[in-house]
Amino acid sequence: MSSSVEAITVLSSDGDEFKITVSAAKLSKPLNWMLEDVCFSDDCDEVPTIEVNSKTLVKVIEYCEKHAPRANSGASDSDAEELKKWDIEFMKMDVKDILFHILMAANYLHMEGLYDLACQTAADLMKGMTVSQIRKIFHIKNDFSSEEQEQLRRQHPGCSFD
């Protein structure tokens, strides 16, 4: 083992290799345990697998690397402000098509900050949409009977069902 290890290699569930720095891996308890295992085991060649697909893992690692300096050393208010802006941009990118994967990965990797951010993003997405837009985007099947549907229209005159 070597205490000078700065980055470790991990495998995604699709079998692709990724590098993550030791300080970034500390944002996640399971990743940190994995890292200790790698650093302290005799068989240093073994590459651990993370049960997250490649597309998602790229984003998770990007988030970890960005947040690691602050998480490890504390930061000033202006850094925190900058990080908040970065988070918003981070969630705006192509992340939308993998939002739920990121949520599940953050849950599985015990990453509170990313988990909160992803939950809030999902909630914010729903806020501005009509019922039918939400159904389409979140893949929800309308399974109300026509009678129930009619009743809903009466009870929720404010909601747009079109």
Partner 1 sequence: MENICKVCLLDLPNSILECILERLSPSELCKVSTLCTFLREKIRTSEHLWEAILKRKWGRVIGDSALREWHRFVAFRKASSSEAKSRSSNTSETSGTSSFKSDWPIIITIGSSSRNISQWTDDSFPDDSIMDLCISLEIGLFWFPAQLYNERNDWTIQNWHDAMLSYDSRTDTFKARYPLHGWSEVGGNVGWDKVRAPAVDISPFSVYASNSIIHDLKPGDHIEIQWRHSLQYPFDWWYALISHVDTCDGRGSACRCHDNDQLVLEFIEYPIESYWRRAVLSRKVACYKEQGNQRFGFYGGIRKIQTQDEIARWNKEILPISNP
Where along the sequence are the contacts to partner 1 (CB under 8 A)? 96-101, 103-104, 107, 115, 119-120, 122-124, 126-127, 131, 133-144, 148, 151-152, 155-159, 161
Residue 109, helix vs strand vs coil: coil
The residue among 70 and 100 lying less far from partner 1, judged by its C-beta, is 100
The residue among 13 and 120 lying less far from partner 1, judged by its C-beta, is 120
Helix axes 112-127 and 77-92, enclosed angle (nearest 10)? 60
The residue among 43 and 147 lying less far from partner 1, judged by its C-beta, is 147
Taking the complex as a whole, the smallest distance from the CB of residue 142 to partner 1 amounts, in Å, to 6
Taking the complex as a whole, the smallest distance from the CB of residue 36 to partner 1 amounts, in Å, to 27
Please report which helix (H) or strand (E) contains residue 20, including its range: strand 17-21
| Contact (CB, 8 A) for 21 and 10 | no
Q: Compute the distance between CA of residue 33 and CA of residue 98 in angstroms, rounded to an integer.
A: 26
* Residue whose C-alpha is closest to residue 66's, from 114, 4, 122: 114
The residue among 11 and 131 lying less far from partner 1, judged by its C-beta, is 131
Taking the complex as a whole, the smallest distance from the CB of residue 50 to partner 1 amounts, in Å, to 18
